[in-house]
Amino acid sequence: MAILIGCQSLAKSYHGRHLFNNLSLAVNDKERLGIIGPNGAGKSTLLRLLAGLEEADQGEITLRRNLRFAYVTQSATFAPGAKLVDLMIGAARSGGFDVAQAEVAAARTMTQMGFDPQAVAETLSGGWKKRLSLSLALVQDPEVVLLDEPTNHLDLEGILWLEQLLINASFAWVMISHDRYLLEKTAKRVAEVAPIYPEGAFVSDGNYSNFLTKRTDYLQQQQRLSETLANKVKREVEWLRRGPQARATKAQSRIDDAHELIDDLASVRSRLQTGKSRIDFEATGRKTRRLIAMEHVAKTLGDKRIVDDLNLVVTPGLGLGLMGANGTGKTTIMRLMTGELKPDKGTVVQAEGLKIVYFDQNRQRLDPTKTLKDFFADGSDAVVFRDRSIHVASWAQRFRFRPEQLQITLGDLSGGEQARALVGKLMLEPADILLLDEPTNDLDIPTLETLEESLQDFPGAIVVVSHDRYFLGQITNMLVGLEGDGKSGIYADYEQYAKATKSSRRGAKDSQASKGSAKSSAVDGPAAAKVSLKRLGYLEQREYEGMEAAIAAAEADMARHEEAAADPGIHAAPAKLTAAYDALKGAQELVEKLYTRWAELETKIRG
């Protein structure tokens, strides 16, 4: 297999702290590499090294000659007033296309992604900005794409779209992600960047679940090594205490070996101490069964109808997930529960003296000028948790903060560190209900696992908005799906919700297709005459006139193949699965070919 990017003996430190040392890694042709690891371990740094945006302290990175690669950052910023068409053409040009090729590639990509070419990038929602960032990478026709947390800001539909893109990609990719479901379904290799490994990383072939098995085996080996070294060190320490004569050459050599063993043992033990966060929300112990009752609730914001007739009772022990695309009103439902918003119709009744802890996805409680110490302790040296006074440094350590970080301002913390800090602050408040709006954003997998364990033990009610399917499966026992037009549904789990929304999307697509057919018949008169076809030959005119119908038919065929490839019934039959993916690939290539040809004809018509 051809190597596209090779890394040999990489070392990188920040402020005297080693991120990794002697790290070697190869990115191969058709690579599907997922990168995980705790916050601050160096994942994004490694990606920037691969992209050539930073230099390693030691080691070498080699790229295959004339390699085309694209890098998608966590948060994209766009120049004020920049139009999508200009950004897309500029990205294609940076990928090596000439002007004409860039215009065709940009038109094809924008059409496939559903973008308005004249839209201004800064006016897009967070989810569509993320899609734009991915599109700007794809339009360059890269051989390798480097992705840093690509699911950030994407809603569930966007994540499913990304999942299919990664599964069917013609390019190699390296992706940092904490989305375990996404890694399970898309990655063929997983690398964990973490200080518990001697060289800074552990790489395993296979998907995420296979990685977990191999990592467990590795850590058990390290534990056995630690025990063996401890026994050897014990014997050597006893020998040293008996006072060997250092004048003898053999004795001096054994002394040196003994000190080396002690150092080895210290190194292994220090790496095996992972420093897990300790998260434990405090409940009030309230016995009331009806914490919040929503009856016949209707709410509209501006011209957006959120819900028409929502009936819901929140009780202790309920794990409720709010589902729906971006903009359907999930956060609005939470604000109705807190009383911050009032319903247009119906009632929202809270139990008397109800205590609600609210994790805000925008993290408005985080004052970027405050130090971590002041945020936790409000100017004191201690916090009060369950009527016990705890020193602020000890409290910070529960969330994997080092003592020296107490004087760092919140604005200087990473996204994951800010999320951990907010969880640490909220834990100090007793609650009947936890309202968690995108709590998983930026959290690393170890912290996610700890958070899940804590929430599973919380006796009160939990209402959560999240696009992390694994997280939802761990803590919810009911879902409310918002459709964006006031309608809503109650579901037992994510699988039931996904099946219902898939059927709903298929019905909407069929309805749109019928409307599109009627519309095209209506415009075949005067409106069609606005497009001048004089620059096309007779056969090209016929081809152009039938292009829209041809693309619609090809996309319908592609959708059928996507459904067939997603059928769980064939996943245990390798031959059938291979045939299904080959058919899907052929259908996708046909759609792409038709869009390319359409863009060429459009360019010819408009001169």
Please state the rounded mean pLDDT for residues 533-560: 74
Query: Does one domain contain both 570 and 471?
Result: no
* Domain membership flag for residue 513: no
Q: Is residue 279 part of a domain?
A: no
CA-closest candidate to residue 339, choices 323, 325, 326, 352? 352
Query: Is residue 255 pLDDT above 60, yes or no?
Result: no
* Domain match, 472 and 379 both: yes
- Among candidate residues 491, 515, 536, the one where a domain is terminated: 491
Reported for 245-251, long-range contacts at CB under 8 A and 24+ positions apart, including other chains, are none
Are residues 11 and 153 both part of a single domain?
yes
Residue 570: its pLDDT value, please?
Answer: 63
Rg (CA), the chain: 28
For 213-237, write each residue's pLDDT tens digit.
Answer: 898 888 777 777 666 656 666 665 6
Distance of alpha carbon 253 from alpha carbon 258, whole angstroms: 9
- Residue at which a domain ends, from 467, 491, 515: 491
Least reliable range by pLDDT among 198-207, 246-255, 438-447: 246-255
Q: What is the pLDDT of residue 241?
A: 63
CA–CA gap between residue 486 and residue 47 (Å, rounded): 42
Across the range 274-296, mean pLDDT stands at 76
Q: pLDDT per residue over 559-600, tens digit each?
A: 787 777 666 666 556 567 667 767 877 887 787 788 777 777
Give me the residues paired with residue 382 across strands: 391
Long-range residue pairs from 393-399, CB within 8 A, at least 24 positions apart, any chain: 395/424, 396/372, 396/424, 398/277, 398/278, 398/279, 398/424, 399/277, 399/278, 399/279, 399/423, 399/424
Same-domain status, 263 and 239: yes
* Shared domain check, 137 and 148: no
Statement: residue 173 has pLDDT above 90: yes
- Residue 521's pLDDT band (boundaries 50, 70, 90)? very low
Residue 519 predicted with pLDDT over 80: no
**Domain end point (choices 206, 231, 256):** 206
Cβ count near 87 (within 10 Å): 23
* pLDDT band at 347; cut points 50, 70, 90: very high
pLDDT at 60: 94
Task: Assess whether pLDDT exceeds 60 at residue 354.
Answer: yes
**pTM of the predicted model as reported, rounded to 2 decimal places:** 0.69
One domain for residues 104 and 3: no
Which amino acid would we find at residue 484?
G
Residue 73, amino acid: T
Give whichever of 120-129, 464-473, 592-601 has the largest mean pLDDT.
Answer: 464-473
Residue 93 has pLDDT above 90, yes or no: yes
Tokens of 2: 């051809």
- CA gap 477, 491 in Å, rounded: 9
What is the SS3 string spanning 128-166? HHHHHHHHHHHCCCCCEEEEECCCCCCCHHHHHHHHHHH
Q: Extract long-range pairs of 483-490: CB within 8 Å, 24+ residues apart.
A: 483/324, 483/328, 484/324, 484/325, 484/327, 484/328, 484/329, 485/305, 486/298, 486/300, 486/305, 486/306, 486/307, 486/308, 487/308, 488/307, 488/308, 488/310
Residues 101 and 237 in one domain: no
Residue 553 lies in a domain: yes
pLDDT at position 513: 46
Using an 8 Å Cβ cutoff, are 469 and 494 in contact? yes
The confidence score (pLDDT) of residue 91 equals: 94
Alpha-carbon distance 565 to 563, whole Å? 5
Which pLDDT belongs to residue 95? 87
pLDDT classification of 81: cutoffs 50, 70, 90: very high
Give residue 9's pLDDT.
92
Question: Dihedrals φ, ψ of 172, to 5°?
Answer: -80, 150
Asked whether 72 and 133 are in contact (CB, 8 A), the reply is yes
Give start and end residues of each alpha helix (H) in 188-247: 208-241
Helix runs in 242-293, H state only: 249-272
Q: What is the pLDDT of residue 247?
A: 47
Identify the burial level of 600 via C-beta atoms within 10 angstroms of its C-beta, where 0-12 means exposed, 13-18 middle and 19 or more buried.
middle
Range with lowest mean pLDDT among 4-13, 58-67, 533-542: 533-542
**pLDDT, averaged across the chain:** 82
Do residues 264 and 387 both lie within one domain?
no
Write the CATH number for 487. Answer: 3.40.50.300
Ordered DSSP codes for 36-99 = E--TTSSHHHHHHHHTTSS--SEEEEEE-TT--EEEE-SS----TT-BHHHHHHHHHHHTT--H
DSSP assignment of 158-200 equals: HHHHHHHHHHT-SSEEEEE---HHHHHHH-SEEEEE-TTSTTS
Residue type, 176: I
pLDDT at residue 296 above 80? Answer: yes
Describe the crossing of helices 574-605 and 99-113 by its angle, rounded to 10 degrees.
120
User: Longest C-alpha distance within the chain, in Å?
Assistant: 107
Question: Residue 212 falls within a domain, yes or no?
Answer: no
User: Residue 260 falls within a domain, yes or no?
Assistant: yes
What local confidence, expressed as pLDDT, does residue 428 receive?
Answer: 87
Classify residue 30 as left (phi > 0), alpha (psi -120 to 50) or beta.
left
CA distance 331 to 126: 15
In a domain, 211, yes or no: no
User: Looking at residue 265, what is its pLDDT?
Assistant: 52
Q: For position 276, what pLDDT does the model report?
A: 59
- Report how far residue 481's alpha carbon sits from residue 589's, in angstroms, rounded to the nearest whole number: 34
Sign of CA dihedral 465, 469, 475, 481: positive
**For the segment 30-63, what is each residue's pLDDT rounded down to a tens digit?**
999 999 988 878 899 999 999 999 999 999 999 9
Residue 158's region, left for phi above 0, alpha for psi from -120 to 50, else beta, is: alpha
Q: Residue 476 in 3-state DSSP?
A: coil
Q: What is the pLDDT of residue 245?
A: 52
Supply the pLDDT for residue 531.
43
Burial readout 525-549 (b: 16 or more C-beta within 10 A, e: otherwise): eeeeeeeebeebeeebeeebeebee
Which is more confidently placed, 371 or 554? 371
In a domain, 134, yes or no: yes
Do residue 229 and residue 354 come from a single domain? no
| pLDDT, mean of residues 111-135 | 87
Compare 356 and 125 and report the one with higher pLDDT: 356
| Closest by CA position to 461, among listed 279, 314, 601 | 314
Count the alpha carbons within 13 Å of 173 in the hemisphere toward its beta carbon: 29
Q: How many CA atoms lie within 13 A of 486 on its CB side?
A: 14
The pLDDT score that the predictor gives to residue 235 is 64
Question: Same structural domain for residues 296 and 422?
Answer: yes
Question: Which of 343, 359, 347 minimizes the C-alpha distance to 313?
Answer: 347
Query: How high is the pLDDT of residue 370?
Result: 92
Task: Give domain status of residue 498, yes or no.
Answer: no
In the prediction, which pLDDT does 28 show? 94
How many angstroms separate the CA atoms of 143 and 71, rounded?
11
> Which of 546, 572, 576 lies closest to 561, judged by CA?
576
Question: Would you say 330 and 301 are in contact if contact means Cβ atoms under 8 Å apart?
Answer: no
Confidence of residue 70 (pLDDT cuts 50, 70, 90): very high
pLDDT at 514 over 70: no
pLDDT band for 188, please (50, 70, 90 cuts): very high
Q: How far apart are CA 419 and CA 425, in angstroms?
A: 10
The whole-angstrom separation of Cα 284 and Cα 433 is 9
Q: Of the given ranges (142-146, 254-258, 437-441), which has the lowest mean pLDDT? A: 254-258
**Is the pLDDT assigned to residue 543 strictly greater than 80?**
no
Q: By percentage, how much of the chain surpasses pLDDT 70?
A: 81
**pLDDT above 90 covers what percent of the chain?**
37
Boundaries of domain holding 477:
292-491
Question: Considering its fold, how many domains does the chain have in total?
Answer: 5
8 A C-beta contact, residue 323 and residue 330: yes
Q: What is the pLDDT of residues 484-504, one digit of tens each?
A: 888 999 998 888 888 887 766
> 444 and 487: one domain?
yes
pLDDT band of 263, cuts 50, 70, 90: low
- Indicate whether 530 and 394 sit together in one domain: no
pLDDT at 516: 46
* Dist CA 474 CA 191 (whole Å): 24
Residue type, 122: E
- C-alpha 475/C-alpha 450 separation (Å) is 12
Cβ atoms within 10 Å of 33's Cβ, excluding its own: 20
Q: Which residues pair with 147 in a beta bridge?
A: 72, 175
Show the tokens assigned to 140. 């360059």
Taking CA atoms, 209 is separated from 214, 284, 339, in Å, by 9, 37, 42
